[in-house]
Amino acid sequence: SLLSSAARTATTDSANQTNYNFHSVIFFWDITAAGTGTLTFRLFSNDPVNDSGRQLFTNGQTTTGMKIYIVSEGVGAAADDVTAIRSYPLAANVWVARIGHGDSSSWTYSLAAVLLPKF
């Protein structure tokens, strides 16, 4: 679990996550109560030297429900229950997930991730 379920009114980052040779990640973002405006999921790679971030992935949402994101090399277009896919490996040594709030309204959500090795 990166972010436990809670009501939030401001942009929230997960703790820095260390990638120990994993190739892919699947995110499960469960939005259970919507505010106004837009929430934006972002994935950042942190530079190991100066800890600055570079955005790898972004996707905005305005509704409740389970949102599933896959970041993995060689995957195709999103289908079925998958919300969005980014087709490249999780190459970052350190990464962080950020949920950005477009305004100060309250949203309730949780965020979990499953890391997968290269097959």
Mean pLDDT, range 44-55, rounded to an integer: 75
Tens-place pLDDT, residues 14-47: 999 988 888 889 999 999 999 999 999 999 887 7
Distance CA 115, CA 19 (A): 9
Residues in CB range of 99: below 8 A, 6 or more apart:
3, 8, 11, 12, 13, 29, 39, 40, 41, 42, 109, 111
* Cut 0.95: pTM above it: no
Tens-place pLDDT, residues 70-118: 888 776 666 656 776 666 777 668 889 999 999 999 999 999 999 988 7
